[in-house]
Structure 1
Amino acid sequence: MKKILWPLVLLKRRIISAYYSYIGKHNPKKLVNIRYRDHFGKDMNWEKPKTLNEKILWLEFNTDTTDWTRLADKYTVREYIESLGLSDILVKLYGKWDRAEDIDWNSLPDKFVMKVNNGSGDVLICNDKTRLNIEKETKKFKKLVKKRFGYTTAESHYIAIKPCIIAEELLDANKQAVETSSLIDYKIWCFNGNPESIWACYNRTHDSVEVATYDLEWNFHPEYSVFTDHYIRAKQLLPKPKSLQQMLDIAAKLSTGFPEVRVDLYEVDGKPYFGEMTFSSNYGMMDFYTQQYQEYLGSKVTIKNGK
């Protein structure tokens, strides 16, 4: 039975994705309304946005998101970080290519990370280049670099990113405060230069990730979260990062001038490293926070109408 149903599930997903993509290209605001109602069972509040989700979506459609494009781009954001005197937090860059056919595989070390600058989750983690199927990976990145991320989620700032491929140093997950199967991602919510809370994600798999929300003093707050089969309550709480204050200072500096942004950092050997800047977390439809906490975070976002 499962063998019969699974192809039908995949077909349904492809049809829905194609539909979302079509609507996203021609009427992105309509797509937001459709997806918001599907997610939350109610209409998006465009007139008086209240939650963090609603304010992210309002900002997406009512403000200039040129800087969102520049800083959500995993390659061009490096220039911004350097301009603020924070080049020390950048992960070492091995190369950048506009076409997969131009990737200089011979120049890369045995271990590295490769990704497209506009994607989400499509990452090659190479621990041993001698075991890598270069032909297969080249074909994969050839497809990825042609992809315009953002149509199915109505994120115009991602659509505007010119795709490229970058290779960076592979940070050692064994040199963290605790042993985890993936790097601990410290996602710091910031509002116009003011860090507010930290969402830690780790032990990530294709289907799930362990999560935990901490305040700035590193107190654990499970009451802020909605745990699911995908967003699993952390089985092991994390010790306070050695560089926590430094990470908060970095996040404050990077987020100054933006009503809201999530600054993602790592800590390896007690040293912070930059991950990315995210302006539309989960395309403005986060379901991993409670309604009360969504409203609290939303109250920290000042938009044009002063609310």
Structure 2
Amino acid sequence: MYFKNILKFIIKSLPLSSRIRLMFLFKHKFFLSFSTPKLFSEKIQARKLSDITHYAMLSDKFAVRDYVKRTIGSEYLIPLLWSVDGDEFDSIPDLEVPAVIKTNHGSGLDHIEFLPSKKSNIEIVSKFKSALCSSYAGELYGEVQYSSYDRKVIIEQRLGNLSSVPHDFKFHVFTNDGSPRWFLQVDFGRYEDHHRNYYDSNLNLLDLQVLRPNGKYCLPAKKELDFMAELAIKLCGEMSYARVDLYLVDGDVYFGEITLTPGSGFEKFSSRHFEIEWGSLWK
């Protein structure tokens, strides 16, 4: 632990570009190019070195709701049951429906809890007080959009049933100079046996693995996914690239989140072909 803390201190003292270069080399095993980025992972690094703070609203799980409402309509928002500023958070309300409590800035199990929970309210409050004080992990490597707004705790209605978590459909959208292209990522079995599949816009399974293995999965109807892709393209707007996460529950589509630097650009693709193709579509 001592060595790890010393190493983290040294890394923090370096310029951001140097931090990114070192982590990129460690994860991808080759040197990245900032001046002429061509690969998808390289273009994520270039985005992080730009003025990414103007994307802060899209990264804020509370503030982005207004953008979604204006862009595609409020009917695609998961019902918001409660919200509170982080510095005023000291309790959670009694709820009559299953819900999800989360911070507006973080990700991972430390920033989310399904309600009802086996934890007591005191334990949940303690958990989220800690989460509110924590830095976003990717901030050290340039994902400063997650630290550019005031922190909140929000509670949304839980989708689906209590026995399972609805699958989210992640659309990687490239505006491609006015000729949008998209690829679909589906994560399933996240809390049991996590698998991840990638598909092209014709819903062909791609020979691509990123962190998780592929698995057998029955996709919804193409008509439904094409409609979701249209919404994702609208939410991407004029950005060159965005990953838009949507849910499909009993035929209804709900917005999840917008991610602009997925995996901080450090997640290794099993196939360089897709690194090149996705990078070429990011104009």
Q: Spell out, residue by residue over 1:278-302, the C-alpha distance to the aligned partner (whole angstroms, 9 max, x if none).
A: 0000001121452110110000111
Matches for 1:56-75 after TM superposition, within 5 Å: 56-62=44-50, 64-75=51-62
Distance 1:275 1:22 in 2: 36
Residue 217 of structure 2 corresponds to residue 255 of structure 1: no
- SS of residue matched to 2:172: strand
One of 263, 273, 279 as aligned partner of 1:292: 273
Distance 1:279 1:101 in 2: 29
- SS of residue matched to 2:139: coil
Q: Spell out, residue by residue over 1:96-144, the C-alpha distance to the aligned partner (whole angstroms, 9 max, x if none).
A: 1123763552343341101111111134343436x44111111111111
- SS of residue matched to 2:107: coil
| C-alpha displacement of 1:88 | 0.8
One of 10, 28, 38 as aligned partner of 1:40: 28
Contact 2:104 2:152 in 1 (8 A): yes
Partner of 2:264: 283
Partner of 1:112: 99
Residue 184 of structure 2 corresponds to residue 203 of structure 1: no
Name structure 2 gaps, 5 residues minimum: none
Partner of 1:234: 215
- RMSD over aligned CA atoms reads 2.5
Contact 2:27 2:267 in 1 (8 A): no
| C-alpha displacement of 1:41 | 1.4
Partner of 1:4: none
Residue 202 of structure 2 corresponds to residue 217 of structure 1: yes
Higher relative contact order (CA 8 A, sep 6+): 2
Among all aligned residue pairs of Structure 1 and Structure 2, give the percentage whose two residues are the same amino acid.
26
Q: Spell out, residue by residue over 1:159-214, the C-alpha distance to the aligned partner (whole angstroms, 9 max, x if none).
A: 2232211110100158xxxxx943211110111372411011111028x6211111
Q: Spell out, residue by residue over 1:37-79, the C-alpha distance to the aligned partner (whole angstroms, 9 max, x if none).
A: 10111111111101111011112213x3233211011111001
Matches for 1:125-274 after TM superposition, within 5 Å: 125-128=113-116, 131-149=118-136, 150-172=138-160, 181-192=164-175, 194-205=180-191, 209-221=194-206, 223=207, 225-226=208-209, 230-240=211-221, 243-274=224-255
Cα 1:16–1:45 change in 2 (3 A) is farther
Q: State the AA in 1 paired with 2:225.
A: L
Name structure 1 gaps, 5 residues minimum: 1-10, 175-179, 303-307
- SS of residue matched to 1:70: helix
Contact 2:196 2:209 in 1 (8 A): no
- SS of residue matched to 2:81: strand
Contact 1:97 1:103 in 2 (8 A): no
Q: State the AA in 1 paired with 2:77.
A: L
Q: How many residues align?
A: 278
Give the TM-score normalised by the residue count of structure 2. 0.88
Distance 1:107 1:22 in 2: 45
Q: State the AA in 2 paired with 1:264.
A: D
Cα 1:24–1:88 change in 2 (3 A) is farther
Give the TM-score normalised by the residue count of structure 1. 0.82
Matches for 1:15-26 after TM superposition, within 5 Å: 16=4, 19-20=7-8, 23-24=11-12
Distance 1:33 1:295 in 2: 19
Q: State the AA in 2 paired with 1:141.
A: F
Distance 2:91 2:219 in 1: 38
Distance 1:188 1:203 in 2: 18
Distance 1:166 1:46 in 2: 37
Distance 1:119 1:169 in 2: 18
Distance 1:21 1:151 in 2: 14
Contact 1:113 1:123 in 2 (8 A): no
Cα 1:30–1:20 change in 2 (3 A) is farther
- SS of residue matched to 1:105: coil
- SS of residue matched to 2:267: coil
Partner of 1:80: 67
Distance 2:47 2:41 in 1: 10
Q: State the AA in 2 paired with 1:249.
A: E
